Amino acid sequence: MEPVAITEDKLETGLRGVPAGYCPTSEVDPDKGLSYGGYFIRELAQREPVEVIYLLLHRQLPNKTEIADFRKELLRRSTLPAGLEDYLRTLPRQGHPMKWFASGLLYLGMTGCTGNYREDCLNLIAWAPELAAKVIAVHQGRAPAPARPELGYMENFVHILNPDADRGRLTRLMRVFDVLHFDHDGGNLSTFTGKAVASGLEDMYGSITAAMLGLAGPRHGMANQECLDFIMKLHEELKGRGDDEAGMRRILETRYANKDLIYGFGHAVLRVEDPRAAVLFELGEELCPADPYFRTAQTLRKVGTAFLKTKDKISDPYVNVDAASGALLHACGLKEQRYYTVLFGLSRVVGISIQIVYERLEARGGKGTPIMRPRYLYSGPVRG
């Protein structure tokens, strides 16, 4: 590994590029994008979510027997501790769904934690679709359908959610969405937070809850919600003409000149278009090519990239995963943006919990990593 000098200019910059450990599940190459277990995300995007979870857990794709056994294992673990739905009904409706999701995770921890990171990781993976679907349905004031995990991982999620939507189309989208969001190297904010909390030996559920609150912020997981708000605004400003490239260019120029944010672009690590975005744009062509917000998102991708490439100050002028995901979810029947980060969380708990198992039970020859304790340089007043 190339040595990284920690010089003063590296301080207060979000630890960009500073290595902190190993990630055995996924890698984000600045020029090639995300891979899981050595496979580029594009090669995995259409696979069954459970196969990709197996890959993240075992660092290899399953054969027929292995996947059949793993499906059985998840099915065996799929019954949630009793009382979750009643508990969710006691939460204040004005709370953001991500706060509900975090509360639900704490509830599962208080009622179903085994204290064994590996067991809790597998249980959490088995429970996540039901938890997320119930959080969304109950928050919306609707009755979730009784779980049917035998339908399949994302099929069960859509079934419990019980939405007023074309279920086939939504399930197709959710399967890909789930796979794309499972993991993103060890240093993204939610994963790093979850591992930091677990390094103090907090249990899996407390650590994952902390991670999900990291995901909840608009600079991280909530960017998908914010980005669809932005696309809707663009659509309005373009007077419904999502294909109007000249109009889009004028709007983006004005925003850039006013230092207003242009959502859906850039990434802390990537220096090419996020391959997760490319997969979603292709899927949108199949699932909702005529959808007005999807068309606006396509124009944003084309015009925004060309425009930002002309700006020397912009190190990553390409779209990220959030540029497309909201428009697709909306077109496939999930109309309320405030639930989108829960969908990201449903997926990301998989990668984070597997990375927590690695750091607690496998790293450093099985000893695990020590408690996180970076140094901060004192910059307050000096006395005496």
SS3 at position 139: helix
The residue from 120, 316, 322, 330 that is catalytic is 322
CA 221/CA 343 separation, integer angstroms: 10
In the complex, least distance from residue 178 CB atom to ligand MLT, rounded to whole angstroms: 13
Gap between the Cα atoms of 325 and 263, Å rounded: 13
The nearer residue to ligand MLT, 188 or 299, going by C-beta atoms, is: 188
Sheet containing 33-36: order of strands: 26-29, 33-36, 39-40
220 tagged catalytic: yes
27 forms bridges with which residues in the sheet?
A: 35
As measured in angstroms, the least distance from the Cβ of 150 to ligand MLT is: 30
Candidates 233, 249, 256, 337; CA nearest to 300 is 249
Nearer to ligand MLT, 238 or 278 (CB): 278
The answer to whether residues 180 and 279 touch, using CB atoms and an 8 Å cutoff, is: yes
Residue nearest to ligand MLT (CB): 188
Asked about 330 being catalytic, the answer comes back as: no
User: Virtual CA dihedral for 43, 44, 48, 50, nearest 10 degrees?
Assistant: 150
Tell me whether residue 159 or residue 267 sits nearer to ligand MLT (CB atom): 267
- The smaller minimum CB distance to ligand MLT, of residues 139 and 267, is found at 267
Q: How far is the CB of 290 from ligand MLT (least distance, A)?
A: 28
Of 266 and 284, the one with the shorter C-beta distance to ligand MLT is 266
Tell me which residues touch ligand MLT (CB under 6 A): 184, 188, 267-268
Q: How crowded is residue 199: how many other Cβ atoms within 10 Å of its Cβ?
A: 18
User: What is d(CA 354, CA 128) in angstroms, rounded to the nearest whole number?
Assistant: 14
The contacts found for 256-259 with CB under 8 angstroms, 24 or more apart, are: 256/307, 256/311
- Which residue, 130 or 183, has its beta carbon nearer to ligand MLT? 183
Is the sign of the CA dihedral 87, 114, 51, 197 positive or negative?
positive
DSSP alpha helix (H) spans, the chain: 41-44, 49-58, 64-76, 84-89, 97-112, 117-139, 153-161, 167-181, 189-199, 204-215, 223-237, 245-257, 275-287, 292-308, 322-331, 340-357
What residues are annotated to the active site? 220, 267, 322
